[in-house]
Amino acid sequence: MAFPKEFLWGGAVAANQCEGAYNEDGKGLDIQDIMPRGLEGAPTAEPTPDNMKLTAIDFYHRYKEDIKLFAEMGFKVFRTSIAWSRIFPNGDDAEPNEKGLQFYDDLFAECHKYGIEPLVTISHYETPLNLAKKYNGWVNHDLIGFYENYVRVLFNRYKGKVKYWLTFNEINSVLHAPLISGGIMTPLAELSKSDLYQACHHELVASALATKIGHEIDPDAKIGCMVLSMPTYPLTPNPDDVIATMQANNLNDFFGDMHVRGVYPGYMKRYFRENGIEIKTTPEELALLKEHTVDFVSFSYYVSVCESADRKEEGSGNIIQGVKNPYLKESEWGWQIDPQGIRYVLNRFYNRWQKPLFIVENGLGAKDVLVDDGQGGKTVNDDYRIAYLNDHLKQVAEAIEDGVPVMGYTTWGCIDLVSSSTAELAKRYGFIYVDRNDDGTGTLERYRKKSFYWYKDIIASNGEKLK
């Protein structure tokens, strides 16, 4: 197999989906604390007990046990996020919360104990609630300054402890899910396109600023963007469908283009012009975007979609919607499974940007059944998950053979956690089963699934054991 010796094998989580402890040690509320149904329901006024993210899988208190299990699988890298409101409880505070900073010091030290490199998302759908309520999130220019304070604290504190950083999780999703992605309280239907693209501009400027500050404080740090990759195929060879597909891809690629090339592309200027979109930019901001581009591009990959010019077909996709592909099967949650799509997207991104690529999310959300393992313990026989990951990793190997530089691969939800889109625990991604249910019951015990041993073998053989 094609995997380079230094390939970074590992797994990924986000603070809000696993930590729990939503109000401990000085943490402020964030938008997740009022989203008990994820993307599928309205936010609540206050945190409510049916919100599984408030307690999640209690990673905040059990991270030592969990990292030990990751080390047992042989992880080289562990992706997690820092919960912004643990560091700045209201987002606009003058001073950071020492207890929050200490928690991540301890977490990163625990990773290093086993030779696991942390890969840190600075903002993963965790805008402090105060920034959402008081400023309407990233629509407001002031967010750039608050984010700047936050990243300055992070880079100074974790210099030498964290080498790989991602500025915003799935930055392009703000166009489709403005609250979860951008802390924007105005519902999407009422939000003007100008405000939406103004928010994008603010996030992009903040991302460039983080890249600048990160490089200044720690020249060894590698700073990347993170996009939701959604390879989009034309539904038919009709040229109208091909052009519609090109345009859909452009709207997604805009975010990578800005991070890698640092200038507003012509297709976007045209889109703004034809849709009456006006955004405010300053010459300083445009210079910042141009001068502080990323070291690498990272992305999530779950599904591909089709596009057609008349869009009569049923919607498909995760956060971004498209048209269903008649050639593909789908998961229990209706996400279409397309292993070759990951090879396609790796080639496409590299041809477009010539930057090293990092797959920081990929995996299968499924309903698992805990059974006796025949040796007095319990396990999950998740052959479906093994097949999914095996097939995707084989396509990653194909892309490496195609000449694409791939830095690493972190499976999503390497330990079961709360789903982002539906806020359920029933949608499990992990190699490690967590005994916790959506009604709040469960012991929180951890159990190794069959895929745990499979992934351990894959890592140990550097991909040679893929079938």
Structure-block tokens of residue 309: 């010019």
| Helices (H), ranges, 141-238 | 142-158, 178-182, 193-217
Buried b (16+ CB within 10 A) or exposed e, 344-376: bbbbbbbeebebbbbbbbbbbbbebeeeeeeee
SS3 412: strand
In the bound state with ligand BG6, the residue whose beta carbon lies nearer, of 362 and 379, is 362
Span of 102-110, 402-410, 419-427, 454-462 interacting with ligand BG6 by CB under 6 A: 419-427
Residues 152-171 that bind ligand BG6 (CB under 6 A): 169-170
Cα–Cα distance list, 281 to 18, 65, 288 (Å): 37, 47, 11
Binding mask 289-318 for ligand BG6 (x = CB under 6 A): -----------x-----------------x
Assess 421 for contact with ligand BG6 (CB under 6 A): yes
Contact 360, 226 (CB under 8 A): yes
Binding mask 227-256 for ligand BG6 (x = CB under 6 A): ------------------------------
- The residues carrying an active-site annotation are 170, 361
Contact 9, 75 (CB under 8 A): yes
Binds ligand BG6 (CB under 6 A): choice among 7, 8, 11, 14: 14
Binds ligand BG6 (CB under 6 A): choice among 182, 419, 446, 454: 419
Span of 1-9, 322-330, 420-428, 452-460 interacting with ligand BG6 by CB under 6 A: 420-428
Span of 337-345, 368-376, 417-425, 447-455 interacting with ligand BG6 by CB under 6 A: 417-425
In the bound state with ligand BG6, the residue whose beta carbon lies nearer, of 202 and 427, is 427
Contacts of 279 (CB under 8 A, 6+ apart): 194, 197, 198, 201, 272
Number of residue whose CB is nearest ligand BG6: 421
Assess 319 for contact with ligand BG6 (CB under 6 A): yes
Residues 326-365 that bind ligand BG6 (CB under 6 A): 361, 365
Burial class (CB in 10 A: 0-12, 13-18, 19+), 340: middle
Burial class (CB in 10 A: 0-12, 13-18, 19+), 247: middle
In the bound state with ligand BG6, the residue whose beta carbon lies nearer, of 44 and 422, is 422
Contact 461, 450 (CB under 8 A): no
Kindly list the residues in this chain that would bind ligand BG6 in the complex (CB under 6 A). Answer: 14, 17, 125, 169-170, 300, 318-319, 361, 365, 412, 419-422, 427
